[in-house]
A and B are shown apart, each in its own frame.
Chain A
Amino acid sequence: MATEECISQRKQTGDTSTLRNRRSVASSGSVTEDSHRPPAGPSSGHDTHSSNGTSARLSPRGGSSDGDAGRELLLLLVVVGLSFSTRLHKITEPPHVCWDETHFGKMGSYYINRTFFFDVHPPLGKMLIGLAGYMSGYDGTFPFIKPGDKYEHHNYAGMRAFCAVLGSFLPIFAYLIVLELSQSYTAALITAALLIFDTGSITISQYILLDPILMFFIMAAVLSMVKFNKQSHRPFTAPWSLWLVLTGVNLAGALGVKFVGLFVILLVGLNTVSDLWRLLGDLSLSLVNIAKHFLARVFGLILLPLLLYVTIFAVHFVVLNKSGPGDGFFSSAFQSRLIGNNLHNASMPEYLAYGSTITVKNLRIAGGYLHSHWHLYPEGVGAKQQQVTAYLHKDYNNLWIVHRQDHNESQSGTPDLVRHGDIIRLEHKETTRNLHSHLHEAPLTKKHFQVTGYGINATGDANDLWQVEVCGGRKGDLVKVLRSKVRFLHRATGCVLYSSGKTLPKWGWEQVEVTCSPYLKETPSSQWNIEDHINPKLPNISLSVLKPHFLEILLESHIVMIRGNSGLKPKDNEMNSKPWHWPINYQGLRFSGVNDTEYRVYLLGNPVIWWMNLASLGMYLIMVAVASVALQRGFTLDQKRMEHSHVLMRGGGLLLLGWILHYAPFYTMGRVLYYHHYFPAMLFSSMLTGVTLDVLLESTDLLLRPPYSDWLQRAGQMVLLFTVLYSFYLFHPLSYGMTGPLAHEPGSAMAGLKWMDSWEF
Chain B
Amino acid sequence: MCHVVLSVFYHVVFYHVVFYHVVFYHVVLCFIMLCVVCVSCFIMSCYVLLYVLCYVVLCFIMLCVVCVSCFIMSCCVMPCCLCCVLSCCVMSCCMCCVMSCCVLSCCVWCVCCVLSCCVCRVLSCCVCCVMSCCVCCVLSCCVMSCCMCCVMSCCVLSCCVWCVCCVLSCCVCRVLSCCVCCVMSCCVCCVLSCCVMSCCMCCVMSCCITLCHVCVVFYHVVFYHVVLCHVVCVVCLLSSIRVSMMMLQLPLVVTAQVDVVLVLVSLWSLWSRLSHLNYPSAVVFDEVYYGQFVSLYMKRVFFIDDSGPPLGHMILALGAYLGGFDGNFVWNRIGAEYPSSVSVWSLRLLPALCGALCVPLVYLLTLELNFSHLSALGAALLLLLENSLIVQSRFMLLESVLIFFVLLAFLSYLRFHNSSSSSWSRFSWLLVSGASCSAAVGVKYMGVFSYLLLLGVASLHTWKLIGERTVNHLSVLVQCVCRFVLLLVVPVLLYVFWFYVHLSLLNRSGPHDQLMSSAFQASLQGGLSRITQGQPLEVAYGSQVTLRSSASQPIPCWLHSHKANYPIRYGNGRGSSHQQQVTCYPFKDVNNWWIVKDPGRQELVVGSPPRPVRHGDVIQLVHGMTSRFLNSHDVAAPMSPHAQEVSGYIDFNVSMATQNLWRVDISNREAESEVWKTILSEVRLVHVNTSAVLKMSGVSLPDWGFRQLEVVAEKLFKVHSSSLGWTVEEHRYGTSREQKEREAELHSPTHIDVDRKISFWAKFLELQRKMLTVKQEDSEHKYSSAPLEWITMETNIAYWLHSSTNAQIHLIGNPVSWGVANLSLLAYQLLAAVYMLRRRRGIIDLPESVWSQFVCLGCVCVGGWLVNFVPFLMMEKTLFLYHYLPALCYLYLLCPALLEHTLTHLLSDVTHRRALCVFASAVLLSVFVSYRTFCPLTYGSPELSANQLQGLKWRDTWDILYRRR
Q: How many contacts A-B (CB < 8 Å)? A: 83
Pick from B111, B719, B782, B874: contact of A619, CB under 8 Å: B111
A70 within 8 A of B: no
Contact B719 A633 (CB under 8 A): no
Number of interface residues of B (CB under 8 A): 37
A170 within 8 A of B: no
Contact A633 B473 (CB under 8 A): yes
| Residues on the A chain within 8 Å of B876, using CB | 670
Contact A758 B107 (CB under 8 A): no
* Residue of chain B at shortest CB distance from A287: B841
Known contacts A281-B840, A626-B101, A670-B876: A702-B107 contact under CB 8 Å = yes
Known contacts A618-B115, A634-B469: A703-B94 contact under CB 8 Å = no
- Complex interface residues of chain B between 40 and 99 (CB less than 8 A to chain A): 94-95, 97-98
Contact A703 B779 (CB under 8 A): no
Known contacts A447-B779, A618-B115, A703-B108: A630-B874 contact under CB 8 Å = no
Which of B105, B107, B719: most chain A CB closer than 10 A? B107
Please measure, in the bound complex, the distance between the C-alpha atom of A625 and the C-alpha atom of B100, giving whole angstroms: 12
Contact A622 B111 (CB under 8 A): yes
Known contacts A446-B779, A575-B718, A670-B876: A629-B840 contact under CB 8 Å = no
| Residues on the A chain within 8 Å of B97, using CB | 622, 625-626
Pick from A615, A626, A696: contact of B94, CB under 8 Å: A626
Known contacts A446-B777, A622-B97, A702-B105: A2-B718 contact under CB 8 Å = no
| Residues on the B chain within 8 Å of A630, using CB | 98, 102
Report the minimum CB–CB distance from B111 to chain A (whole Å). 5
| Residues on the B chain within 8 Å of A152, using CB | none
Pick from B94, B115, B467, B874: contact of A633, CB under 8 Å: B467
Contact B467 A632 (CB under 8 A): yes
Contact B720 A757 (CB under 8 A): yes
Please measure, in the bound complex, the distance between the C-alpha atom of A702 and the C-alpha atom of B110, giving whole angstroms: 12
Contact A283 B842 (CB under 8 A): yes
Contact B463 A696 (CB under 8 A): no
A755 within 8 A of B: no
| Residues on the A chain within 8 Å of B780, using CB | 445, 447, 517, 519
Contact A703 B102 (CB under 8 A): no
B178 within 8 A of A: no
| Residues on the B chain within 8 Å of A623, using CB | 101, 111
B608 within 8 A of A: no
Contact B720 A758 (CB under 8 A): yes
* Residue of chain B at shortest CB distance from A641: B102
| Residues on the B chain within 8 Å of A722, using CB | none
A277 within 8 A of B: yes
Contact A703 B106 (CB under 8 A): yes
B717 within 8 A of A: yes
Please measure, in the bound complex, the distance between the C-alpha atom of A94 and the C-alpha atom of B874, giving whole angstroms: 43
Contact A668 B107 (CB under 8 A): no
Contact B842 A703 (CB under 8 A): no
Contact A635 B102 (CB under 8 A): yes
A55 within 8 A of B: no
Contact A629 B779 (CB under 8 A): no
Report the minimum CB–CB distance from B850 to chain A (whole Å). 21
Q: A interface, by DSSP: helix, strand, loop or mixed?
A: helix
* Residue of chain B at shortest CB distance from A697: B108
| Residues on the B chain within 8 Å of A241, using CB | none
Please measure, in the bound complex, the distance between the C-alpha atom of A668 and the C-alpha atom of B94, giving whole angstroms: 29
A541 within 8 A of B: no
Number of interface residues of A (CB under 8 A): 39
Contact B718 A703 (CB under 8 A): no
| Residues on the A chain within 8 Å of B719, using CB | 757-758
Please measure, in the bound complex, the distance between the C-alpha atom of A760 and the C-alpha atom of B114, giving whole angstroms: 33
Which of A283, A633, A757: most chain B CB closer than 10 A? A633
A573 within 8 A of B: yes
Pick from B1, B698, B841: contact of A280, CB under 8 Å: B841
Interface mask (B770-782 → A, CB under 8 Å = 1, otherwise 0) = 0000000101101
Report the minimum CB–CB distance from A127 to chain B (whole Å). 32
Contact B105 A280 (CB under 8 A): no
B109 within 8 A of A: yes
B37 within 8 A of A: no
Interface mask (B469-503 → A, CB under 8 Å = 1, otherwise 0) = 10001001000000000000000000000000000
B128 within 8 A of A: no
A1 within 8 A of B: yes
Please measure, in the bound complex, the distance between the C-alpha atom of A758 and the C-alpha atom of B466, giving whole angstroms: 45
| Residues on the A chain within 8 Å of B111, using CB | 619, 622-623
A699 within 8 A of B: yes
* Residue of chain B at shortest CB distance from A290: B841
B837 within 8 A of A: yes
* Residue of chain B at shortest CB distance from A624: B94
Please measure, in the bound complex, the distance between the C-alpha atom of A505 and the C-alpha atom of B721, giving whole angstroms: 24
Known contacts A447-B780, A632-B463: A626-B841 contact under CB 8 Å = no
Known contacts A519-B780, A622-B114, A625-B98: A633-B466 contact under CB 8 Å = yes
| Residues on the B chain within 8 Å of A575, using CB | 718, 721
Known contacts A618-B115, A626-B97, A670-B876: A703-B777 contact under CB 8 Å = no
Report the minimum CB–CB distance from B97 to chain A (whole Å). 5
- Complex interface residues of chain A between 694 and 721 (CB less than 8 A to chain B): 696, 699-700, 702-703
Please measure, in the bound complex, the distance between the C-alpha atom of A625 and the C-alpha atom of B466, giving whole angstroms: 12
- Complex interface residues of chain A between 610 and 656 (CB less than 8 A to chain B): 615, 618-619, 622-623, 625-626, 629-630, 632-635, 637, 641
Please measure, in the bound complex, the distance between the C-alpha atom of A12 and the C-alpha atom of B312, giving whole angstroms: 68
Please measure, in the bound complex, the distance between the C-alpha atom of A517 and the C-alpha atom of B779, giving whole angstroms: 12
- Complex interface residues of chain B between 528 and 562 (CB less than 8 A to chain A): none
- Complex interface residues of chain B between 98 and 126 (CB less than 8 A to chain A): 98, 101-102, 105-109, 111, 114-115
Interface mask (A267-294 → B, CB under 8 Å = 1, otherwise 0) = 0000000000100110100010000000
| Residues on the A chain within 8 Å of B779, using CB | 446-447
Please measure, in the bound complex, the distance between the C-alpha atom of A758 and the C-alpha atom of B97, giving whole angstroms: 35
Please measure, in the bound complex, the distance between the C-alpha atom of A419 and the C-alpha atom of B685, giving whole angstroms: 67
Pick from A280, A517, A637, A670: contact of B840, CB under 8 Å: A280
* Residue of chain B at shortest CB distance from A572: B698
Please measure, in the bound complex, the distance between the C-alpha atom of A447 and the C-alpha atom of B463, giving whole angstroms: 52
| Residues on the B chain within 8 Å of A626, using CB | 94, 97-98, 101-102
| Residues on the B chain within 8 Å of A629, using CB | 94-95, 98, 466
| Residues on the A chain within 8 Å of B469, using CB | 633-634
| Residues on the B chain within 8 Å of A699, using CB | 107
Please measure, in the bound complex, the distance between the C-alpha atom of A591 and the C-alpha atom of B874, giving whole angstroms: 34
Report the minimum CB–CB distance from B464 to chain A (whole Å). 9
| Residues on the A chain within 8 Å of B467, using CB | 632-634
Please measure, in the bound complex, the distance between the C-alpha atom of A517 and the C-alpha atom of B841, giving whole angstroms: 58
Please measure, in the bound complex, the distance between the C-alpha atom of A700 and the C-alpha atom of B95, giving whole angstroms: 20
Report the minimum CB–CB distance from B881 to chain A (whole Å). 16
Known contacts A615-B115, A696-B107, A703-B109: A622-B94 contact under CB 8 Å = yes
Pick from A632, A635, A696, A758: contact of B108, CB under 8 Å: A696
Please measure, in the bound complex, the distance between the C-alpha atom of A760 and the C-alpha atom of B721, giving whole angstroms: 14
Report the minimum CB–CB distance from A226 to chain B (whole Å). 25
| Residues on the B chain within 8 Å of A668, using CB | 874
Known contacts A703-B105, A703-B109: A283-B841 contact under CB 8 Å = yes
| Residues on the B chain within 8 Å of A757, using CB | 719-720
Please measure, in the bound complex, the distance between the C-alpha atom of A695 and the C-alpha atom of B549, giving whole angstroms: 53
Report the minimum CB–CB distance from B99 to chain A (whole Å). 9
- Complex interface residues of chain B between 825 and 860 (CB less than 8 A to chain A): 837, 840-842
Please measure, in the bound complex, the distance between the C-alpha atom of A562 and the C-alpha atom of B903, giving whole angstroms: 48
Lowest 10 A-B CB distances belong to which pairs?
A625-B94, A626-B98, A702-B105, A757-B719, A2-B1, A760-B717, A632-B467, A280-B840, A634-B469, A629-B98
Q: List 18 A-B contacts (CB under 8 A).
A: A2-B1, A280-B840, A287-B841, A445-B780, A446-B779, A519-B782, A573-B698, A575-B721, A618-B115, A619-B115, A623-B101, A632-B466, A633-B469, A699-B107, A700-B108, A703-B105, A758-B718, A760-B717
Known A-B contacts: A2-B1, A629-B94, A703-B109. Give 13 more (CB < 8 A): A281-B840, A447-B779, A519-B780, A622-B97, A622-B111, A625-B97, A626-B97, A633-B467, A633-B473, A637-B102, A641-B102, A757-B720, A760-B718
